[in-house]
Amino acid sequence: MIIVTGAAGFIGSALVGELLRQGWADIVAVDDFSRPDKAPNLEGKKLTARIDRREFLAWLDANQELVQFIFHLGARTDTTEFDKSIFDELNVAYSKGVWERCVRYGIPLVYASSAATYGDGDLGYDDTDDTLPFRLKPLNPYGESKNEFDKWALSQEHEPYFWAGLKFFNVYGPNEYHKGRMASVVFHAFRRITASGGMELFRSHRPDYTDGGQLRDFVYVKDLCAVCIFLMQHRKSSGLYNLGSGTARTFLDLARATFKAMDKPERIEFIDTPIDIRDKYQYFTEARMEKLRSIGYDRPFHSLEEGVEDYVRNYLMPDAYL
């Protein structure tokens, strides 16, 4: 039995779908299933059970002998939320409960960390230095919560016999339709271009970056799922791992790839970055991927153009939710 927490969300449901596609049939989905906007993400997927996240830890205590692996992807991910107590409960305390049970019951664990832990990137994006998380200064409570759990995990005397914390960079792809403001720029670009023929990007508020020249490591969700499944089968070399494409690209590159995938002429305008996130805004992220490659992961990642084309043409253009 494989457990996926956050299973009704973007990345969790994508992973559930890929596990089923590959023939892993005994899957338990954990989430808050009360949100109807997330229901389509699991529609048609044959699951062993659906467990409410508030009941999961007790359920795991009662059913631990059936569980072979846990993907703990459930979290509060809103980077514009500044109530620290929400993150303390959902991203830190809850994750500790999952970890402690994995130790107690001998269950291997992959959990979702985030590139938001790296803050403004001044200290780099090195996942090989286990002292780095203790020096990082994330830019928002979400990033702080993910870094707090990473630090806690690295400090534990007792740990699951295998664990990996994955620092997700800028993930995009199918099943993010419910995320609203937090959905990827590809998703928002597609909707805006569909509605008006053009799109807007944030203007740069730093002299060393041109408008639209802000850089991100955009990673296609299909690549992320492939890494998760590799680690489930590998079960060696525990620790923190970056999970990006390894190549930073500009938002302008992304916009142009979206126009091209839609067969639309480019029409891009620039607007000010909203005040509430302007001083928390990252201008450059790029995953160092040598650590993951060093343990045997050798599959290529989608280029930005390849990923955007697949997402737009095979998921967004025929999508009924749009």
Least confidently predicted of 30-39, 93-102, 210-219, 300-309: 30-39
Long-range pairs for 52-58: beta carbons < 8 A, 24 or more residues apart:
53/5, 53/94, 56/5, 56/30, 57/94, 57/97, 57/98, 57/101
| Encoded amino acid at 8, one letter | A
Q: What is the pLDDT of residues 175-192, one digit of tens each?
A: 999 888 889 999 999 999
In whole angstroms, what is the distance from residue 60 CA to residue 100 CA? 11
Residue 142 annotated to the active site: yes
Least confidently predicted of 60-69, 171-180, 219-228, 288-297: 171-180
Q: Does 88 have pLDDT greater than 90?
A: no
Domain 180-215+248-283+310-316 has CATH 3.90.25: yes
Catalytic residue (one of 84, 96, 151, 179): 179
CATH code at 2-171+219-245+288-301 = 3.40.50.720
In whole angstroms, what is the distance from residue 159 CA to residue 156 CA? 6
pLDDT band, residue 73 (cuts 50/70/90): very high
Q: Does 48 have pLDDT greater than 80?
A: yes
For every residue of 163-199, DSSP letters joined together read EEEEEE-EEE-TT-TT-GGGS-HHHHHHHHHHHHS-E
311 membership: H or E segment, kind and range: helix 304-311
User: What mean pLDDT is predicted for residues 199-227?
Assistant: 96
In whole angstroms, what is the distance from residue 163 CA to residue 42 CA? 26
* Chain region(s) in the chain for CATH 3.90.25: 180-215+248-283+310-316
Q: What is the pLDDT of residues 233-259, one digit of tens each?
A: 999 999 999 999 999 999 999 999 999
With tokens 């020249």, the residue in question is: 213
Q: What is the pLDDT of residues 102-145, one digit of tens each?
A: 999 999 999 999 999 999 899 999 999 999 999 999 988 899 99
Q: At what angle do helices 94-105 and 141-155 cross, to 10 degrees?
A: 20
* Chain region(s) in the chain for CATH 3.40.50.720: 2-171+219-245+288-301
Catalytic residue (one of 111, 142, 177, 311): 142
- Confidence (pLDDT) at 320: 39
Q: pTM higher than 0.85, yes or no?
A: yes
Residue 179 annotated to the active site: yes
